[in-house]
Homo-oligomer: A and B are copies of this chain.
Amino acid sequence: MSSQRATAFVPGHVTAFFSAHRDDDPTVAGSRGAGVTLTDGVTVRVSAADDGDTVADAAAAGETTIDGEVGSIGAVDDVLAELDATAADVAVETDLPIGAGFGVSGAAALGAALAANDAFDRGRSENELVRVAHAAEVDRGTGLGDVVAQARGGVPVRLEPGAPGVGELDGVPASARVEYVTFGELSTEEVLGGDTDALSAAGEDALDRLRADPRLPTLMDAARGFAGEADLLVPEVAEAIDAVDAAGGEAAMAMLGRTVFALGTGLSDAGYDPEACRIDAAGARLVDD
């Protein structure tokens, strides 16, 4: 039975480090690495487009809004097409900054998949929906590993790249407050479109360190090493990481964004005025409307 409307919540995801893995098949492509999912995330509401009385209305495709403004997200469009739901209205809402390393595009794609499947009773399994969203995100070049991480929740470790059935995940068991400050956008497409060999080598080193010692402080330390080795640090972020370190805390850069995130009260203690949330234990999920 189709309810014709459904809502999903998908946590934000800050990547601590990663290596890029290309493949012509977008379900096989992806990234290894690790990150932290956040209770600050993206809510996606999918509903049947208003039935119009006129021919023009009836033929119109559904509308996507982002925080109330009409817009479009490529990966969301692809997900809706795959689920035969292009006539749906999609409302994406988030308090997270967009383009700043929180995986908002991946979250929107995964949330659209979960909500459209439920609203229109498409009968796909969780793995199938994650696969559809992951493939859309990879095809659009907006991310490589956020979707599978956001589906799992917690502190996901991407052992092998790719969608469910191809990739492999583990997690660092942890519950913690997370603070973050954003200084602006950084283009994922631009970094991922360039030469990623040095970046990927640094990412593999960082993953080896974390697998040998799956603890949160090791993740943060490996993330700082990665940002330096991969030459991705921007001045404001480097300054904030140093300030948190000087105040006795743990911070790192969100990949890929001009964003710094810290455990506990790290950024507050260093004199910043951060947003605060927690590690999200649940991962992507349907929620009540």
Give the residue of B114, B173, B214, B281 whose beta carbon is less than 8 angstroms from that of A282: B281
Does A54 count as interface, using CB distance less than 8 angstroms? no
- Shortest A19–chain B CB gap in Å is 19
**Is A288 part of the contact surface with B, judged by Cβ < 8 Å?**
yes
Contacts of A129 in B (CB 8 A): 173
Could you say which residues of chain B place their CB within 8 Å of the CB of A288? Answer: 175
Q: Which of A21-29, A101-109, A118-126, A229-237 contacts B (4 or more CB under 8 A)?
A: A118-126
Q: A15 at interface (Cβ–Cβ under 8 A)?
A: no
Is A249 located at the chain interface by the 8 A CB criterion? no
Pair B175/A124 contact, Cβ less than 8 Å: no
Stretch at the interface among A62-70, A135-143, A164-172, A262-270: A164-172
Q: Is the CB–CB distance between A125 and B281 below 8 Å?
A: no
Q: Is A209 located at the chain interface by the 8 A CB criterion?
A: no
Pair B123/A154 contact, Cβ less than 8 Å: no
Does A287 reach chain B (CB closer than 8 Å)? yes
The answer to whether B214 touches A124, judged by C-beta atoms less than 8 angstroms apart, is: yes
- A117: contacting residue among B127, B164, B173, CB under 8 A: B173
* Residues in B neighbouring A170, C-beta threshold 8 A: 125-127, 164
From A123, A173, A282, residue with most partner B Cβ within 10 Å = A173
Query: If the complex has contacts A170-B164, A173-B118, A173-B129, are A123 and B214 also in contact, measured as CB distance less than 8 A?
Result: yes
8 interchain residue pairs of minimum CB distance: A282-B282, A126-B171, A281-B285, A125-B214, A175-B286, A127-B170, A281-B282, A125-B170
Selected A-B contacts with CB under 8 Å, 11 pairs:
A118-B174, A121-B215, A123-B214, A125-B170, A125-B173, A126-B173, A128-B214, A164-B170, A174-B286, A175-B286, A281-B286
